[in-house]
Chains A and B, each alone.
Chain A
Amino acid sequence: MTTAAQNASSARPPFIGTNVPRTDGASKVTGRAAYVDDLPHEPGELFGATVRSPVPRARLRGITLDPAFDWSDVTVVRASDLAVNEVQCISAEQPILAADQIRHAYEPVVLLACADKRKLAQAVRAVKLDLEPLTPVLDPEQSFAKVDVIWGEDNVHKRFSITKGRADLPDPAGSAAAIEAAIASCEIVVRGRYTTHHQEQLYIEPQGVIARWDDKGVHVTGSLQCPYYVHKALVHGFDLAADRVHVTQAVTGGGFGGKEEYPSVIALHAALLAQKSGKPVRMIYDRKEDIEATTKRHPAICEITSGCDRDGTLRALSIRILMDGGAYMTLTPVVLSRGALHAAGVYRWDDVRIDAIAVATNTPPNGAFRGFGAPQTIWAIERHLDRVAEELGRDPMDLKAQNMLREGDTTATGQTLRGSVGVAECVDKALTASGYHDKRKAAPVVRGRVARGIGASVFMHGAGFTGSGEKHLKGRVAVDLLPGGRLRIRTASTDIGQGTETVFRQIAADAAGVRLEDVDFAVPSTSYVPDSGPTVASRTVMVVGGIVERAAREVAARVRAEQEASGGEFTAAADRLLTKEREVTALVQYEHPGWVTWDDSTYKGDAYPVYGYACDVAEVEVDLDTLEVTVTGFWSATDVGKAIHPVMCKGQIEGGSLQAIGWALWEDVVWKNGLIQNPRMTNYIIPTALDAPPMHVDLVEAPYAYGPGGGAKGVGELPMDGGAPAIAAAVEHATGIFARDLPLLPERLLELQTTRKGFGAKGAEGDPKPQALKG
């Protein structure tokens, strides 16, 4: 592989399916790659800082600048300085700076800038906020009960339902009664309540931007996923014409969703300071501020009741999902939507009712994080089916395999799966590679005080925007012909580590029949790249890569037409064409396959054009004294349609799986009265190389007819979905402890073991069924 990789870039196509060296690799391993805080300081540049609320809810009565402090060289921006005080996202109800109400701890109130970093830190302490604390609403159930209204009329960010079969009735009460009746008529009924917690993205490079103004308008360069989201927020926030806002991505040190919508906030802040001071402003969060103030994964509560036949055939499903949106809406409706659309799992159900609700609390807004609502609901449905299997005396994976969606089956939204359903092969490969069946049958192995167990999960993840999202979005890319027969890709899809710029080059080089080194990738800047849509939703390769392919093919076809007309090499023909036409560019817009239909009002139809599928297997050791869990091996077989770059594709799966393992076992945002108690890497624990198990990834390729490069589907988010339930199943196999709530901290497991709540509970919270500890 080494030799192939070394020689690949100067080789001839095809590049798709080969492991070419990542094109930004050399700059990253030599330290030359310029992340935002590596960019040279501009003359006169100031540092920016934010004064934040120390309480979760309060009336803001006033702001005092300490008169003893020298403010002469400090720029100060307050809400009262702003013409528009709205962060434009899905809604615009989040203020750029709190004006009179504090709705969450760490809410920004005052912005400061100063050339001297040390003085800036003192200035932050010299701002006094006059706050009248109010009782915060911190619990989503309490918020939903409307004990106190903190957002809108009823605290509800979004509510909708998905119905199928007998529950498909327009009246919510009628639908609820119908699903209850459908479940009651089943031979086996199982209930459960499953919860998940916050998770911090913890990209290793904190959020940061540099903003400056000149006669062309405002310029923001930063660590970000979605240049056009920031662009839109700046256009709105400064009431500027679109061509007076210029947003450029610096090399970005990880995002995972955390740099999807949040960069709009820090960009607005830095731009406000730059506007008022007339100087460039650099705003880089330190780790504590980043953990405290920026978005996290939505916590969720899922209550499930299901009915099935005694032979294991799943029949009817009712789920109530309650997500905690935090203080402002941000992307919550879409997160809830994706969560609900994945809540039925990868299974056939005749009758379904999913009641999905997201509410506000006085906590920092939750937002995008890899998986985007799906890991929460997949945790619930996978754990629930483990319970159903126990009830039936079956192995969970046998029960799941019996009910898995096949081509031609319909999902909870009534979508008929048209192909590219590789889930059965995933299950087969992962279970075989891990030795799952033998290890399950052998029962948990106990040696001394260590018990070993194995568990699995199976799941799917919709690729691309939900429903009609891609139709509204109309993502575009441009491919230009450059002298010497070179191509340049212009797209707003960013490389945040996942490898966009390399795989787009592979796709374009193959489509055009040129060498990889003849394809350039323009730095994503809204000044010269078209809006390809955001870098989110497992859409970059499948959706945007598809239009890169079309655009490159179109440009190459024009060169080849010139070649046929007047002869010569590709490069000579390209130069002739450029001389004649001056500009040779293909600007291509995404078109959804014609058969995709979706109704936003009823939540019916093709929720996603296609799904990625996977089966994860975790093998664990549980220390029976401390109940600490060690993952000793992790297997995943993942259907990606077609791997454009197998090494990077596996890299996505391994990295996403470890984030899932971290979420399952260690990562826990600890709250007290609305404040985060562990906003540091010292006590917010992500896995190290020693915590991470050896990973064994198999790629399954069930091609998607409309995907680029021979059928690629999205893979970015999928691997976040299945790790937690696989680990919980393995812990259960090892110890008999059935966990419903994440994370699986030793103290939680101990409580379950002590109270026996974890043993084969039947009711929503219990009916403990006494049973000896297995092994």
Chain B
Amino acid sequence: MKITLTLNGRSREVDLPPLVRLLDALRGPLGLPGTKEGCGEGECGSCTVLLDGEPVNACLVSIGQCEGRAVTTVEGLSDATHLGPLARCFVDHGGAQCGICTPGMLISAEALLARRPDPSDEEIREAIAGNLCRCTGYQRIVDSIREAARERAGGAA
């Protein structure tokens, strides 16, 4: 079945059975391995992507559900030469260690900052509660997101 979607701002078409997981479509035929699989049952959040701006687990969404919709992955948050501000804050403030949860974590943070530009620490923790990290203890992820929010608000250019 032919499915057309907007992927990281570009229109893409794939020919796949509609029940193929979005995660497999992204990592396979769509050539975007940045989205990771940690559990395959919607618990770890490593495969979080934006579907029409809402964070979803790509292991629980079928490619057929994406027809005519917009999908954003970690590859869509930075361009080839510049890190996005959120991504850069993760590097500068220790928000990434092993990095396997980082793509999903960045996507959840992006969704938060889009609807809530000046979140409290509690709101940050709530927004990333579906993304498991085993390395950092989360403190530096919270710090990274708070700093990105501050920079976006013009606190630091």
Spell out A's residues near B (CB within 8 Å). 1-2, 5-6, 19, 21-22, 24-35, 37-38, 201-206, 251-256, 286-287, 496-499, 647-648, 650-651, 654-659, 680-682, 686-690, 692, 694-695
In the complex, the answer to whether A287 meets B39 with C-beta atoms within 8 Å is yes
What is the CB-to-nearest-CB distance from A215 to chain B, in angstroms, rounded to a whole number?
Answer: 30
Most chain B C-beta atoms within 10 Å of own C-beta, residue among A35, A498, A692: A692
Instruction: Known pairs A29-B74, A655-B137, A692-B125; list 10 more (Cβ under 8 Å).
Output: A2-B92, A19-B94, A22-B96, A26-B91, A30-B75, A204-B133, A206-B38, A286-B40, A654-B136, A690-B126
Q: A-B pairs with the 3 shortest C-beta distances?
A: A31-B34, A497-B98, A253-B100
Residue in B99, B135, B156 whose CB lies within 8 Å of A251: B99
Q: Beyond A30-B83, A204-B98, A690-B126, is A6–B92 a contact (Cβ under 8 Å)?
A: yes
In the complex, the answer to whether A256 meets B134 with C-beta atoms within 8 Å is yes
What is the CB-to-nearest-CB distance from B44 to chain A, in angstroms, rounded to a whole number?
Answer: 6
Q: Beyond A30-B75, A651-B94, is A287–B40 a contact (Cβ under 8 Å)?
A: yes
Work out how many contacts link A and B, with CB atoms closer than 8 A: 178
Closest chain A residue, CB of each to CB of B100: A253
- Per DSSP, chain A at the interface is loop
Closest chain A residue, CB of each to CB of B93: A647
* In the complex, chain A residues whose CB is within 8 Å of the CB of B128: 689
User: Is B56 in contact with chain A by the CB < 8 A criterion?
Assistant: no
29 contacts between A and B (CB under 8 A): A5-B92, A21-B92, A24-B99, A29-B87, A29-B90, A30-B34, A30-B87, A31-B32, A31-B75, A203-B100, A204-B38, A204-B44, A205-B38, A251-B99, A254-B97, A287-B39, A496-B98, A497-B97, A497-B135, A498-B97, A648-B94, A650-B94, A654-B138, A655-B136, A681-B38, A688-B130, A689-B124, A689-B142, A692-B125
What is the CB-to-nearest-CB distance from B21 to chain A, in angstroms, rounded to a whole number?
Answer: 12
Q: Beyond A2-B147, A695-B137, is A688–B132 a contact (Cβ under 8 Å)?
A: yes
Number of interface residues of B (CB under 8 A): 58
Q: How does the 8 Å CB contact mask read for B70-86 relative to A, with 1 for contact and 0 for none?
A: 00011101100001000
Q: Once the chains are docked, how many angstroms separate the CA of A31 from the CA of B99?
A: 9
Q: Once the chains are docked, how many angstroms separate the CA of A694 from the CA of B147?
A: 16
Residue in A5, A21, A254, A689 whose CB lies within 8 Å of B98: A254
* In the complex, chain B residues whose CB is within 8 Å of the CB of A655: 97, 134-137
Q: Once the chains are docked, how many angstroms separate the CA of A30 from the CA of B75?
A: 6
* In the complex, chain B residues whose CB is within 8 Å of the CB of A681: 38-39, 41, 43-44, 132
What is the CB-to-nearest-CB distance from B48 to chain A, in angstroms, rounded to a whole number?
Answer: 12
* In the complex, chain B residues whose CB is within 8 Å of the CB of A251: 99
In the complex, the answer to whether B91 meets A253 with C-beta atoms within 8 Å is no
* In the complex, chain B residues whose CB is within 8 Å of the CB of A204: 36, 38, 44, 46, 98, 100-101, 132-134
* In the complex, chain B residues whose CB is within 8 Å of the CB of A498: 97, 135
Q: Once the chains are docked, how many angstroms separate the CA of A24 from the CA of B99?
A: 9
List residues of B (92-113) whose CB comes within 8 Å of A's CBs.
Answer: 92-94, 96-103, 106
What is the CB-to-nearest-CB distance from B73 to chain A, in angstroms, rounded to a whole number?
Answer: 7
* In the complex, chain A residues whose CB is within 8 Å of the CB of B138: 654, 658, 687-689, 692
Closest chain B residue, CB of each to CB of A682: B43
In the complex, the answer to whether B99 meets A28 with C-beta atoms within 8 Å is yes
In the complex, the answer to whether A29 meets B83 with C-beta atoms within 8 Å is yes
User: Is B33 in contact with chain A by the CB < 8 A criterion?
Assistant: yes
Q: Beyond A22-B96, A29-B102, is A654–B139 a contact (Cβ under 8 Å)?
A: yes
* In the complex, chain A residues whose CB is within 8 Å of the CB of B34: 30-32
Closest chain A residue, CB of each to CB of B96: A28
What is the CB-to-nearest-CB distance from B4 to chain A, in angstroms, rounded to a whole number?
Answer: 23
User: Is B51 in contact with chain A by the CB < 8 A criterion?
Assistant: no
In the complex, the answer to whether B103 meets A31 with C-beta atoms within 8 Å is yes
Residue in A33, A686, A694 whose CB lies within 8 Å of B99: A33
What is the CB-to-nearest-CB distance from B131 to chain A, in angstroms, rounded to a whole number?
Answer: 8
What is the CB-to-nearest-CB distance from B13 to chain A, in angstroms, rounded to a whole number?
Answer: 22
In the complex, the answer to whether A31 meets B35 with C-beta atoms within 8 Å is yes
What is the CB-to-nearest-CB distance from A128 to chain B, in angstroms, rounded to a whole number?
Answer: 26
* In the complex, chain B residues whose CB is within 8 Å of the CB of A25: 90-91, 96
* In the complex, chain B residues whose CB is within 8 Å of the CB of A19: 92, 94
In the complex, the answer to whether B96 meets A29 with C-beta atoms within 8 Å is yes
User: Is B141 in contact with chain A by the CB < 8 A criterion?
Assistant: yes
Q: Beyond A25-B91, A680-B39, A682-B43, is A694–B139 a contact (Cβ under 8 Å)?
A: yes
Most chain A C-beta atoms within 10 Å of own C-beta, residue among B74, B121, B136: B136
Q: Once the chains are docked, how many angstroms separate the CA of A29 from the CA of B74?
A: 8
Closest chain B residue, CB of each to CB of A680: B41
User: Is B30 in contact with chain A by the CB < 8 A criterion?
Assistant: no
What is the CB-to-nearest-CB distance from B137 to chain A, in angstroms, rounded to a whole number?
Answer: 3
Closest chain B residue, CB of each to CB of A256: B134
Q: Once the chains are docked, how many angstroms separate the CA of A151 from the CA of B148?
A: 56
Q: Beyond A203-B134, A254-B134, A695-B137, is A29–B106 a contact (Cβ under 8 Å)?
A: yes
User: Is B140 in contact with chain A by the CB < 8 A criterion?
Assistant: yes
* In the complex, chain B residues whose CB is within 8 Å of the CB of A37: 33, 37
User: Is B16 in contact with chain A by the CB < 8 A criterion?
Assistant: no
In the complex, the answer to whether B38 meets A287 with C-beta atoms within 8 Å is yes
* In the complex, chain A residues whose CB is within 8 Å of the CB of B126: 689-690
What is the CB-to-nearest-CB distance from A640 to chain B, in angstroms, rounded to a whole number?
Answer: 15
List residues of B (8-58) whose CB comes within 8 Å of A's CBs.
Answer: 27, 32-41, 43-44, 46
